[in-house]
Amino acid sequence: MPDNLNHYLIRSVLALCRLAAASADDDARTDLSDDAFLLLDAVTAGAADRAALANARAGHALESLARLGAAGDATAVARARLWLMRLRAATTVSAPAPQQSRARPDKKVAETPAAEWSPNQEKVLEWLAANPGARPKELIGHFNGTIASRTLKRILAVLVSAGAVRKIEDGAATVYEVVARRE
């Protein structure tokens, strides 16, 4: 997204400069060139402040364009408005929502005694107990054809959240081992 943000910033500045140069009204020319200059400040701002500053400056520039109205070249005004709206859209995109657990909320395995675990969960626990330090690919390879890989990943997540299995991450490598077997 930062590449798009810089692209939209520069295109917006250029559109405002073109409008200012073509404007016959001195006040409009001054307003548009000031808006272009303020948008340039956002280009040089730090990464943390760039989006907020660009959003505020683009809002001010859109207000200036609305005041300019029909006094300017309609095509140039529309082009500047388009780039400014793209800039504002790029700065208001919210961060992606954190992914929720794929485990079903109605099945709280942490509260479920081991006797009530599913047969697949039991199979995975038994295999992990026999193969400490197993990687997910090894687990998927062992159960290939009997338990789907997505189901295995979900079972691992449930077992980790229940505290029955420990997930150890070391850079790109992830291994699982049984913590304690509940009876």
Task: Answer yes or no: do 120 and 165 share one domain.
Answer: yes
Angle at Cα 94 formed by Cα 92 and Cα 96, nearest 5°? 155
What SS3 state is found at 183? coil
Q: Is residue 6 part of a domain?
A: yes
Q: Is residue 99 part of a domain?
A: no
Mean pLDDT of 131-149: 87
Q: Which of 59-63, 129-133, 150-154 has the highest mean pLDDT?
A: 150-154
Q: Which of 12-21, 53-62, 76-85, 118-127 has the highest mean pLDDT?
A: 118-127
128: Cβ–Cβ under 8 A, 6 or more apart, which residues? 134, 139, 165, 176, 177, 178
What SS3 state is found at 176? strand
Question: Count of alpha carbons within 13 Å of 154, Cβ hemisphere only?
Answer: 15
What SS3 state is found at 101? coil
pLDDT of 51: 80
Widest distance between CA atoms in the chain: 85
Angle at Cα 116 formed by Cα 111 and Cα 117, nearest 5°? 85
Task: Answer yes or no: do 13 and 79 share one domain.
Answer: yes
pLDDT of 106: 46
- Domain of residue 57: give its range: 2-91
Computed over every residue of the chain, the mean pLDDT equals: 77
Q: Is residue 38 part of a domain?
A: yes
Structure tokens at 38: 């303020």
CB 41 within 8 A of CB 57: yes
Task: Answer yes or no: do 84 and 121 share one domain.
Answer: no
C-beta neighbour count of 100 within 10 angstroms: 7
Structure tokens at 86: 């793209």
Task: Answer yes or no: do 6 and 87 share one domain.
Answer: yes
- Give the count of domains, the chain: 2
